[in-house]
Structure 1
Amino acid sequence: MNTSQRALSAKFSEALKHSGAPIRRSFTDAQDNELSPLASLMRGSRGQGGGGRGGGTRLAVLLTLLWVLRAGHHDSDRPARFWAQLIGLNEPKTDGARAVRDSFHELAKRKLITVDSVIPGTLLIQLLREDGTGIPYSSPVASQVGGAVTEPYFRIPPALWETGLISELSGPGLAMFVIVMRSVRSDRPQNKLWFSSASFKERYSLGDSTRKSGLRELVEHGVLIESYESVDDTGGTEYRTRRRKTYTVDPAYLPFKTNEVSTQKS
């Protein structure tokens, strides 16, 4: 258990009123046969998929930036070791900080942040929209109760950081955590989820190995509760049936509900 990571996360979660990170659905969803920003983030510099250690670190860094910098001017000059500690990397002052700096530059290549050297040894990070358009960041959350939500979004719950889970998941596990939060309905949080291999890659630009290993990991960590149901090819039970693996989200990991307007419907 990384006690320093959890202590720092608890401090920020309290400052953020225990509300999660709002994420536009355009971050996860593929459009016009293009890679989704999430899938691009998980690929290496040579275009290889799989979401290895580098992809998982890049995703963890971006999610944490979106969590911490979602308000104000959406920028920070905190040292890399701060972010390394917040996501629970080993050796946050040395190897962990180096991994964060590498992630900063990869995020900048993908137009998710800008990185400027203000003074020697200090980087200024400016958040851009998570859809990879390079547009300066603005929160998708309606500015006031009852305000119009112009873009659909979902939330990454603060439990990802508070429990230390962000430091325990692999790249595929963290990517599937994001997809699960994208899929859960705020009005029906205990509905069963399933992820068809036939449509998964088309919808999210992620491979079947990421889907399988990521879901298995989330079950092992207690985020998902796995079950089976019998369905026919029409989605019902009237004809010859087959077993389908389904999942429900443990309540501890459901997105924290606030009085902000949200559009989490599929």
Structure 2
Amino acid sequence: METSDDFWRRNAESPQSNAEGPQIEQRQAAQQAKTRAGGARSAAVRYRFIARGGPEEDPPPLARLLRGGGGKGGAARLRLYLSLLWLSRNDDAPRFEYPAHQWARLLGFDSPDTAGARRVQQALRWLDEQAFVRLQHRQGASSAIHLLSDAGTGRPYQAPGLAMKRLAVKAQREEHLYVQLPAGLWTKGWISDLSGAAVAMYLVLLHERRGEDKTVWLSPRIGRERYDLSDETRRKGLNELAQHQLVSVRRRPVHQGLFEDHFRSRNVYELNPEDLDRYEPGEQHPWF
């Protein structure tokens, strides 16, 4: 019988790609993980993971994951936790038993069998300590990972789509509202190419682009008060997304009263989530 190790290591035929070496290994791991997850086309990420529900609330989980240990540790935690959400699509109380080196391959970490696996283990320990997962240690085997709520409550995870269907009262459903993060983040290799700041700002833009107007204006004040992200994280993430052509940026005039002497404008951002599924890092997008 094929083990999970065999499944992830087996050479799978992958679509044509410009990737080489470790990038190919990452794409193959992502395609195999997607198959194991029933072909999940997106990760469901709750609004409450991304943003505060109100001005008096604690920092949202997204900011906590990024800041917990700083530097690459925050980015590794965010990438790993989003991967758990992706592979948990439409599954309540999911449990994973994959070894650390398999997660390291999925995330595109260098030296996945050694240093990359240690990065995964460090991230898992932090997620366990902060009640985003519960680790079940097993003798002679990898720890089982039990996913906990992405709202940061420490309760067992419930798939938001399923939870909303069970609830008849609109007010109760609001805590399960979510954005859909395309699977291309993994299958096209963006998960290993984008920084933690860029992934965070992508989630923020998904959260902000509700309603008919899909353009987003994000002030420094909103970045701090609603998302608890620093001005540096906001600027770095948005600039990186623009450089990768994942967002388009244009200037929009700010409405002013009559007889104003000075013209004012601000940056607005337009996000096309389908591009994560269409293009790999380095590919030119025809509409740019």
The TM-score bracket by the shorter chain reads 0.7 to 0.9
Query: Which residue of the partner structure matches residue 7 of structure 1?
Result: 28
Q: TM-score, normalised by structure 2?
A: 0.78
Work out the CA distance in 2 between the residues paired with 1:168 and 1:255. Answer: 14
Query: Which residue of the partner structure matches residue 261 of structure 1?
Result: none
Alpha-carbon offset, residue 72 of structure 1: 5.6
Work out the CA distance in 1 between the residues paired with 2:216 and 2:137. Answer: 44
Query: Which residue of the partner structure matches residue 75 of structure 1?
Result: 95
Matched, 1:164 2:189: yes
C-alpha contact (below 8 Å) 1:61/1:103 kept by paired residues: yes
Query: Residue 274 of structure 2: which of 252, 257, 261 is its match?
Result: 252
Task: List runs of 5+ in structure 1 lacking aligned partners.
Answer: 46-50, 257-266
Task: List runs of 5+ in structure 2 lacking aligned partners.
Answer: 1-18, 279-288
User: Structure 1 residues 233, 109: CA separation in 2 closer, same or farther (over 3 Å shift)?
Assistant: farther
Identity between Structure 1 and Structure 2 (%) = 32
Query: Residue 41 of structure 1: which of 65, 71, 90 is its match?
Result: 65
Q: Letter of the aligned partner of 1:219 in structure 2?
A: A
Alpha-carbon offset, residue 83 of structure 1: 0.8
Q: Letter of the aligned partner of 2:65 in structure 1?
A: L
Alpha-carbon offset, residue 183 of structure 1: 2.1
Q: Letter of the aligned partner of 1:135 in structure 2?
A: R
Query: Which residue of the partner structure matches residue 178 of structure 2?
Result: 153
**Partner deviation per Cα, 1:198-255 (whole Å, 9 max, x = no partner):** 2210000111100000000111112111111111368xx9955412111111353479
Matched, 1:176 2:195: no
Query: Residue 247 of structure 2: which of 212, 221, 224 is its match?
Result: 224
**RCO higher in 1 or 2 (8 Å CA, sep ≥ 6)?**
1
Query: Which residue of the partner structure matches residue 84 of structure 2?
Result: 65
Query: Which residue of the partner structure matches residue 114 of structure 1?
Result: 134
Query: Which residue of the partner structure matches residue 20 of structure 1?
Result: 42
Query: Residue 74 of structure 2: which of 55, 61, 72 is its match?
Result: 55
Work out the CA distance in 1 between the residues paired with 2:199 and 2:273. Answer: 18
Work out the CA distance in 2 between the residues paired with 1:129 and 1:69. Answer: 11
Greater share of residues in helix: 2
Query: Residue 199 of structure 1: which of 207, 222, 237 is its match?
Result: 222
Q: Secondary structure at the match of 1:141?
A: helix
The number of equivalent residue pairs is: 247
Q: Secondary structure at the match of 1:117?
A: strand
Query: Residue 153 of structure 2: which of 113, 126, 133 is its match?
Result: 133
Work out the CA distance in 2 between the residues paired with 1:59 and 1:254. Answer: 18
C-alpha contact (below 8 Å) 2:41/2:183 kept by paired residues: yes
Alpha-carbon RMSD across the aligned residues, in angstroms, is 2.6
Q: Letter of the aligned partner of 1:168 in structure 2?
A: D
Q: Letter of the aligned partner of 1:114 in structure 2?
A: R
Work out the CA distance in 1 between the residues paired with 2:259 and 2:268. Answer: 19
Q: Secondary structure at the match of 2:108?
A: coil
User: Structure 1 residues 238, 106: CA separation in 2 closer, same or farther (over 3 Å shift)?
Assistant: farther
Matched, 1:102 2:122: yes
